Amino acid sequence: MATAQTLPPPLQSAGLTVPAPPKPKVPVGQTPAGQTPTGQAPAGQAPGGRPADAPGTCADHEPAGQAVLDALSGGDEAFAELARRSPADAFRCSSLFPGEAALAALRGAAALAPFDAVGAADQMIGRPGGAAIVALALDLGLLSRALDTGLPFYETRHELRKRLGKPELRALESQASKALAASLARDPAAMAPKIGALLDDMVDDPPADRFRIAMALSAEDLLGLIARIGPQLYTSSLDGLVNILQIQLKQERRSLLDLARGERTRPLWADFFVATVGGGRAASLFGTNPATARELMRESLRALLPAQDAPVPGADAAMVIGALADAMDLDNRAVRAALEDELAAWYRGSGETPAGGTGETPARGTGETPARGTGETPARGTGETPARTMAGLAGSLHAMRLSGRPATPAFEAERFLQRHPPAALPVLTGQRLFRNGINVQRMTFYDDPDGRASFRGFLRQHRAQGWALHSQSGFTVAVSPDRHGRRIVIVADEPGAHDAGRAAAWDWMAREGLTPSIVIHRGHSYHEDSTMTEIAPATALVFWGSCGGHTRLRATLERAPDALVLATQNIGVSTVNEALLGIIENRLLADGAIDWNGVWREAQGRIRDRRFASYKRPDQDSANLAFRAWQVRAAAP
């Protein structure tokens, strides 16, 4: 028999958390019992609250690796070998090796690996003779010869900016950008992930500095970069690369259509299309010229949908279906009509002849439709190739989302919804969301400026609405007022509590018999892996409020096959998250379920931020529907 979910005793109060009583005043010069005098670190702790460094800890307060520990026990010769074999470790942990022999080894390593020395400048300057070695490493000739792929410059950009003059820095950066472009051209598969990781790592840099790394790349290189790593990038990184690609094409007086047809870029076009449309940039891809958009859609269909007899990889098919559907979901009516006509023409020409028809296929893109005969819909799967089914499902998803907007006659004539009905989505009923009148939600926050600001907004919003807020050890519990016999309990991370706070939250929920039916991620995209572990097979709804959370759809459904997913396709915004989650909470309390028609109607009326358009309604999310539809097709006999 399942454990009943009931509110634990601390949560029975309808009031808010009582503030902690003020601390008693202590005479000047006297230290309260149990406290450490000002300016003196507690036992086992360094000044500033940092744990005291253990033996074998380097000057950056990080533990030494095994190679450094081996050198510590091996003497001067062992350290000299470390400096030759792994100069980055030798520089970072140079404070552990104070002797003259070690200094000589570091001096030799700086001549061969100057970027490693510059990267560890803060650690080096703290040891005798270290500043002279850093000065040696800043020689422009040494740095130029050590540029290699160009990445070392960008990886040490902050230290170089502090220690080089502007003319020298600009000269070195010019060489680095050329080296980077040449390296990418030689080995794009190996270099693209490294450049993507660097762009993501520079997320806090000014955009002008962050994307300077890409300014020296050709349009072909930029397209290849997006195609190879686009889905893995932070949304801001992808947006920046797409923007630079547009600038580069304008400077080169070329178009995306040229790249779609280019010998070098045509093989990458399918991946580029999925990455760009999946990142919410379909409007940038197709522009405002219907004729050009039509041609570009034609080239995209050729790239995305394989030849009739070619196998379709199951891992990619759903992404293609969703991207094709999203590509047609544009505000520009003329461009949307052009894309609809092209999909209909491809579908019509790819397979069976309509019953009673002539068997002739009209010219591609004319919008003309052959006679439909009896109009009967053939059985699903009869004579269907995988590619035709993919196109049909994309058309079906688009038709479902038109919501009263007109489609072209050619598109409507294919009757996509009847031929390829989408798979039924799970329904968020009261039985899935509530137990004994309680809906439990798990909300993750992280210890960075965005996470701390979002957490303060969460507390402020729920305090204003009369929720009870209970601060536990490492987490906070928010309890809604009772409405119609229903309450919501949100178990939220406190930024700074880290894994210990998360473990405490789960221990507390286990003791109280509370099981979350909703998981909410409130943080940057680089924290998503940590939130993913919160998702269980029985999770009913997952809210990804991070930038580009849409890319987590497949992984989410693998963990919770019957979950609905609400995610952003582009930029996630804290204020939009708060407003949308507030609407969902009110619907839960008022109705005991979630009606997405009502939620979206209210959200569109209340949320004025244009970035709300990036949030995908779960029951109309083309990627979500595509994954499920393709799974149904794969399971069919």
The tens digit of pLDDT for each residue in 480-499 reads 999 999 999 999 988 888 88
Rounded to 5 degrees, what are φ and ψ at 413?
A: -65, -25
Spatial distance between the Cα atoms of 389 and 383, rounded to a whole number of angstroms: 10
- To the nearest whole percent, how much of the chain has pLDDT over 70? 82
Give the containing element (helix H, strand E) for 605.
Answer: helix 596-606
The tens digit of pLDDT for each residue in 490-534 reads 999 888 888 888 899 999 999 988 989 999 888 776 777 777 888
The pLDDT assigned to 433 comes to: 92
Cβ-based neighbours of 212, under 8 Å, separated by 6 or more: 173, 177
pTM of the model: 0.69
The pLDDT assigned to 477 comes to: 94
Spatial distance between the Cα atoms of 120 and 129, rounded to a whole number of angstroms: 14
The pLDDT assigned to 355 comes to: 43
Domain count, the chain: 2
CATH number of residue 610's parent domain: 3.40.50.720
In a domain, 528, yes or no: yes
The pLDDT assigned to 226 comes to: 95
Cβ-based neighbours of 337, under 8 Å, separated by 6 or more: 290, 407, 408
Spatial distance between the Cα atoms of 279 and 231, rounded to a whole number of angstroms: 7
* Residue 120, both tokens: 């560890």
Q: What would you measure as the largest C-alpha separation in the chain, in angstroms?
A: 100
The pLDDT assigned to 529 comes to: 72
Boundary of a domain, candidates 171, 206, 226: 171
Domain that holds residue 457: 430-619
In a domain, 626, yes or no: no
Q: Which residues of the chain have pLDDT under 70?
A: 1-56, 59-60, 307-315, 352-383, 525, 547-551, 569-572, 637
The tens digit of pLDDT for each residue in 126-165 reads 888 999 999 999 999 999 999 999 999 998 988 999 999 9
In a domain, 451, yes or no: yes
The pLDDT assigned to 579 comes to: 86
Spatial distance between the Cα atoms of 277 and 273, rounded to a whole number of angstroms: 6
Spatial distance between the Cα atoms of 128 and 103, rounded to a whole number of angstroms: 9
Spatial distance between the Cα atoms of 413 and 411, rounded to a whole number of angstroms: 5
Boundary of a domain, candidates 146, 171, 196: 171
In a domain, 598, yes or no: yes
The pLDDT assigned to 104 comes to: 93
In a domain, 77, yes or no: yes
The end-to-end CA distance of the chain, in Å, is: 38
Give, as one character, the DSSP assignment of residue 593: S
Spatial distance between the Cα atoms of 17 and 15, rounded to a whole number of angstroms: 7
